[in-house]
Structure 1
Amino acid sequence: MAIGNIYVISGVAVIGGALFGFDISSLSAQLAMQSYLCYFNQGPKGPPPEFEANDEKKCSGPESLVQGGITAAMSAGSWAGALVSGFLSDWLGRKYAIMIGCVIWMIGSAISCSSQNIPQLAIGRMINGFCVGIESAQVPVYIAEIAKPSMRGRLIGFQQWAITWGILIMYYISYGCSFIGGGDYDTYKTASWRIPWGLQMLPAVFLFFMMMLLPESPRWLARKDRWEECHSVLTLVHGDGDPNHPWVNQELQEIKEMCEFERQHSDATYLDLFKPRMLHRTITALFTQIWSQLTGMNVMMYYIANIFTMAGYTGNAVLLASSIQYVINVFMTIPALLWMDRWGRRYTMLVGATFMGIWMFVGAGILANYGRVIPGGIGGVAAQSMEVSGAPAKALIASVYLFVASFAPTWGPASWTYPPELFPLHLRGKGVAMSTSGNWAFNTALGLFVPEAFANIKWKTYLIFGIFNVCMFVHVFFLFPETSGHTLEEVSSIFEDPNGIPYIGTPAWKTKVATSATRRAEAGDLEAKYGEKEKNLQPVQSAEAAEASPVERT
């Protein structure tokens, strides 16, 4: 029997997001480990010439561009996985697409764990990324299509919270494993990174088997004319077992109307996303994910070890200090889970862009004024191109922590919540896949860009991301409409408002959070709106029955 508790359903599904978190922190932790740097070393062993008096036996690891490629391999795979997920999800369903991603993750993790060289590691990470692309695109779609409007943001926000927990858990596992073997080039043990990369398979195994107990998306079932199953899922999740529950009947009616309207679009393709009436939604969803990357957050996640090394930390102190930002990331996501549906998507993203821009400019100013350029990089690592000490170093670390505290309750959860709300049913799977592919395309580019940027333009790297945050504030203010509290079917009316801007709809700054009507509906007070006849509405049993109630909607 399927599980019907919406919180359990969401809690299980978002483990797909945790897989992304595991991958982020497992690699970011390795960048400071001698076992990783020495096993995949491309430079000389031992201290660089300018530190010959130092008797530490160190390795410089992969070259900066190669390390960027190793990091970006996961993102490149995620980009491909996100694009493929749209077809996979529309064909097999949201549930089975997530399960297929789990199998792919286990294969990629096994390859990474057994890596003998850099190409094998890159291939394993790329396969892992293919899974992450599927999960990151389809988990939000699955939750969006099964949740009530008033809790949709909170539940999809669990995706980001799961990512933060995945980052934190895997980081401390990696930190603990860093003590395996010695810290020199002739005493290290590869178990210190093979064990974490092997353990990351376990959540995928759990997710695969638990997904068997969860229901399929009712909207996907409806689009496949499986109306009895659609009604059963709505009854299970929203009706407390009562097939005539008012909320179940309302949802079923709206899904029926939308399916009837979209029946003519049964052969939708990615090209439909770029038609004039859909272009604004596509660009908005795409840039939601692109901007989330250009905030600079993944710079902090992947290369935090480099930043703390430039601030004067060494050895295990780098790993321990870096972990604090992951703790901040977990706990500062909680306010969004509790209140984002009240705050709304627009306000959340505008506030986040403002504060993140401030902290990026602060970081750039500190390094520009107090940083000292280190030729060849600290310890021979070119990306660690500057050094700062004393009070400025503490201020730099504080700006990093404050940046993370600004991202966690804003763009972190909002970037996953917003895109699934923008698209109509027949394009939702492909639309979210397209937007998520933008996330991974820019993640790939940044993975390659950031080490080279730190090595060549140094403090100006922070400046670039600060400017990006200013640009995203302007974009959100003028072109991102509010969707919080609206049903997925109602959101279409915002973009198709005949009194609004052509091909854009209601001006974004005029849209507001919908709360009172939805709450009354969820409280069971539907009789006043629909009357007794609506309350006793019988479920649609077939496609023929659905066609008996044509939609008058444009």
Structure 2
Amino acid sequence: MWITELEGRSLTIGITVTCGVAFMLFGFDQGVFGGILGNPRFMSTFKNPTPTIQGQIVSTYDIGCILGALMTIFIGDHLGRKRTIMLACLFVIIGGALQASSFSLPHMIIARVIGGLGIGMESAAIPMWQSETCKPQHRGKLVALQLVLVIGGIVLTEWMNLGFSYISDKPVSWRFPLSFQCFFAILAIFMVACMPESPRWLCLKERNDEAQVVIARLMAKPVDSDEVVESLQLIIGTVAHEKELENVGWREIFSNGEQQTFRRICWVPDARCSSRWVSFGFSNQLALILTAVDFISLMIWGSVVMLAIDRWGRRKLMLLGAFGMGCSFTVAVIGLALKTKASYAVAVTGIFVYNVFFGISFLSIPFSYPSEINSQRHRNLGASVAMMTQWLFVYVIVLITPIGIANIGWRFYIIFAVLNFVWVPIIYYFYIETAGLSLEEIDKLFEIHYTGGKGMTWKEATRLAKEHIALTKIQIHDKTQLAHNAEVDHVESDEKGASVERISV
């Protein structure tokens, strides 16, 4: 089949499209339930659950996501990137089918947890797979594209829910949207099965011959070409070097030796805040329309960052985003506090501006950053911890936001404004730049910064890391050439010997 024989740029596009389908599923699954809760047929089927019960139905999905990310810590490196994603999609299919066929609250809650398991696993595994199979100069924009597609999935649910709201007296108005998530999951399983495994994971498992074949396909070069062999040897050398530095195990994770494992795992940026249009004083239907338009705006600005993320870098965009989001929430708080029609328009403007800054920064960077800064052996752990942290905060926000708004009203949004401002100095002093660096260079960057002592700056460590990897590549190239020349000499010697033997005969 042609899809299994892609090479070079076509293969990179194939992997990107596959990740995109899986992340569309992520977005669809995340957004589909929001509009259904206002569906009268859904409410009557489940005997008009109270707002508290509704909140529990929604939040059980986030609990499933937390458990899914936790599960990935233990099975991700055993199964590999591909099989982890496929297992995640299988959980989503089971969860989606159970949700669409639910007639009782326990049935729905269990189905939501199962679906959440799949999304939690998927959200950890896909950025790793994408990061480990693309070029450094494209890594940021490709992961950013995936997050745009997440928003695309959410936009699809918003408009689908809006369309079905006109036939809300029929069961199909809520059962079809819940079942439709299975389409994306089935398509994702098929496409992932046709794509290659991460060559870095294969090297981690000492399946070097398979890794060499994958690298050759990604580079569109012969398997035994110098470029392929040199790239393979660089990855093998990095994995071997990591094993020499520290022993693998949970003790290493909480150490902070040359690999600075604990520090790297702890760098999980996410300043996610949610806006609820109903709390701004709008009707339910207008809230649905504003939410859909809101997410379209987010898609646009998430697309814009694809042009800048690898040029401007992650750190600058996070600084700009955190400060801008803090200012936007401040404007929204002022608009809500004044409680006039004009001031509500100001609040809406504040939230739309918030999406500009969120879209160019924290929409995508928190998904790519953990996969970049963690070493090969701990990339699965770091990405999984990152997603666990995200889903935990999403769960907390979903749980406390209605309570906070009910008790202190617009003042609750001050918390979000303050938290965004707090992130500015944290990012400035503690986060490093990864744009344009290969994963091997980032590994060496942490090691050099540690061994260089207190006087070593991250900028200097980055320069030295690039020089070290460049020198390593030259050494590998020289060894490859020597081996190649020796092989040629051996073949020529054999041919001369055979020629002399024929002459003597």
Does structure 1 conserve the Cα–Cα contact (< 8 Å) formed by 2:234 and 2:473? Answer: no
- Equivalent residue for 1:241? 221
The answer to whether residue 280 in structure 2 is matched with residue 329 in structure 1 is no
Partner of 2:308: 339
Q: By how many angstroms is 1:505 displaced?
A: 9.2
The 8 Å contact of residues 35 and 161 in structure 2, kept in 1 or not, is answered as yes
Aligned to 1:201: 182
For residue 175 of structure 1, the aligned residue among 123, 138, 162 is 162
Counterpart position of 1:226: 207
Q: Equivalent residue for 2:73?
A: 86
- Is 1:189 the counterpart of 2:140? The answer is no
- For the 8 Å contact 2:226–2:477, the answer to whether it is kept is no
Match of 1:251 in 2: 231
- CA deviation after TM superposition for structure 1 residue 500, in Å: 7.0
What code does the residue aligned with 2:35 have? Answer: A
Is residue 310–residue 435 contact of structure 2 (8 Å, CA) maintained in 1?
yes
- The residue that corresponds to 1:52 in the other structure is none
Shift of 1:170: 1.9
- Residue 457 of structure 1: aligned partner: 408
What is the letter of the counterpart of residue 23 of structure 2? G
| Conservation of the 8 A alpha-carbon contact between 1:21 and 1:166 | yes
Q: Please list, as runs of the form range in 1=range in 2, the aligned pairs for 1:126-137 lying within 5 A after superposition.
A: 126-137=113-124
- Structure 1 Cα separation of the partners of residues 145 and 288 of structure 2: 26
**Cα distance, 1:37–1:458 mapped onto 2, change above 3 Å:** farther
Matched, 1:396 2:347: yes
1:13 to 14, 19, 22: 19
Offset of 1:507 from its aligned partner?
4.2
The verdict on how the C-alpha distance between 1:428 and 1:130 changes in structure 2, with shifts beyond 3 A counting, is: same
Deviation (angstroms), 1:35: 3.5
Aligned residues: 477
Give matches, 1:23-422, under 5 Å: 23-40=29-46, 42=48, 62-63=50-51, 65-181=52-168, 188-238=169-219, 240-245=220-225, 247-263=227-243, 268-277=248-257, 282-283=262-263, 285-288=265-268, 291-292=269-270, 294-296=271-273, 299-300=274-275, 304=276, 307=277, 309-368=278-337, 370-371=338-339, 389-422=340-373
Question: What's the Cα RMSD here?
Answer: 3.0
* Distance apart, 1:314 and its partner CA: 2.2
Deviation at 1:72, TM superposition (A): 1.6
Q: Which moved more, 1:22-31 or 1:442-451?
A: 22-31
Superposition deviation, residue 40 in structure 1: 4.1
Q: Which residue of 2 aligns with 1:495?
A: 446
Distance 2:13 2:236 in 1: 25
Cα separation, partners in 2 of 1:97 and 1:152, compared to 1, 3 Å: same
Q: Deviation of residue 199 (structure 1)?
A: 0.7
Partners of 1:34 and 1:332 lie apart in 2 by 34
SS in 2 for 1:179: helix
Greater alpha carbon shift after TM alignment, 20-29 vs 191-200: 20-29
- By how many angstroms is 1:248 displaced? 2.7
Q: Deviations over 1:384-441 (max 9, x none)?
A: xxxxx52112111111211112111211111111001111111111121112111111
Residue-by-residue CA offset, 1:216-246 (whole Å, 9 max, x unaligned): 01011112111111000000012x1323555
2-structure distance, mates of 1:438, 1:406: 21
Quote the offset at 1:476 in angstroms: 0.7
CA contact (8 A) 2:203 2:239 kept: yes
Q: Take 2:258 and 2:145, find their aligned partners in 1: how far apart are those partners?
A: 28
C-alpha deviation, 1:15, in angstroms: 2.5
Aligned-residue offset at 1:287: 4.8
Could you tell me the TM-score, scaled by structure 2's length?
0.86
Larger-gyration structure (1/2): 2
Residues 517 and 249 of structure 1: CA distance in aligned 2, closer, same or farther (over 3 Å)? farther
Structure-1 separation of matches of 2:91 and 2:12: 26
Unmatched 5+ stretches in structure 2:
485-505
Helix, strand or coil at the partner of 1:210: helix
**TM superposition shift of 1:215:** 0.2
Contact 2:84 2:125 survives alignment (8 Å): yes
Unaligned runs of 5+ in 1: 43-60, 182-187, 372-388, 539-554
Q: CA deviation at 1:537?
A: 7.0
Distance, in Å, in 2 between the alignment partners of 1:533 and 1:426 is 26
1:456 Cα deviation after fit: 1.3
| Higher helix residue share | 2
Distance 2:21 2:392 in 1: 22
Question: How far, CA to CA, are the matches of 2:199 and 2:267 in structure 1?
Answer: 28
**Matched residue type, 1:146:** T
Note if contact 1:295-1:353 (Cα within 8 Å) is conserved in structure 2: no
| Higher mean C-alpha deviation, range 352-361 or range 118-127 | 118-127
CA–CA distance in structure 2, aligned partners of residues 429 and 23 of structure 1: 23
TM-score of the superposition, structure 1-length normalised? Answer: 0.79
